[in-house]
């Protein structure tokens, strides 16, 4: 059985880029090209669900301190940003050969299909997963219109 993967147009595909394998043969001879560093930006993976009472968002933000996560709300849009920090503990004379770990800001915005009450929303961060619970607003002004 094959597994499906998400395609990122900014990351090279080994099947579509025959020169990538050629590049691997000479990787150790020169320093790594600067453009390879662009494909290391993290993807903030999310799951959004709802029930009768609330919207639920789960976001994968591994390696982030909970104090470096910022959540903001504008209408029915939720913005999550997280700053990924990396320790730089190189010894004198040590040179980096290959670096894939990202440091910087990761950002994700989600527009929800309904209004929610942000004043009683709840957020938890545990083991690299941010969990948001956004209670739906009571929509007293909604009504059905009968077609005649």
Q: Which domains does the chain have, with CATH numbers?
A: 42-86+102-135 (2.60.40.790)
46-50 and 54-60 as β-strands: parallel, antiparallel, unpaired?
A: antiparallel
CA distance linking residue 70 with residue 79, whole number of Å: 8
Report mean pLDDT in 10-residue bins for the chain, 148 residues.
56 54 54 48 84 94 90 91 78 77 84 89 93 84 58
Which of 68, 61, 75 shows the shortest CA–CA distance to 108?
Answer: 61
Residue 43's pLDDT is: 73
Torsion of CA 8, 13, 15, 18, to 10 degrees: 150
Q: pTM for the complete prediction?
A: 0.62
């Amino acid at each position: 059985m094959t597994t499906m993967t998400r395609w990122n147009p900014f990351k090279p595909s080994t099947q579509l880029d025959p020169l990538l394998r050629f590049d691997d043969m000479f990787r150790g001879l020169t320093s790594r090209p600067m453009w390879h560093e662009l494909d290391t930006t993290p993807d903030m993976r999310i799951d959004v669900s709802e029930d009768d009472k609330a919207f639920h968002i789960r976001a994968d933000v591994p390696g982030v301190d909970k104090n470096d996560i910022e959540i903001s709300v504008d209408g029915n849009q939720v913005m999550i940003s997280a700053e990924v920090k990396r320790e730089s503990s190189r010894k004198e004379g040590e040179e980096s050969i290959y670096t894939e770990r990202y440091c910087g800001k990761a950002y994700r915005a989600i527009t929800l299909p309904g209004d929610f009450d942000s004043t009683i929303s709840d957020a938890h961060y545990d083991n690299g997963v941010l969990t948001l619970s956004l209670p739906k607003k009571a929509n007293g002004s909604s009504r059905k219109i009968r077609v005649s």
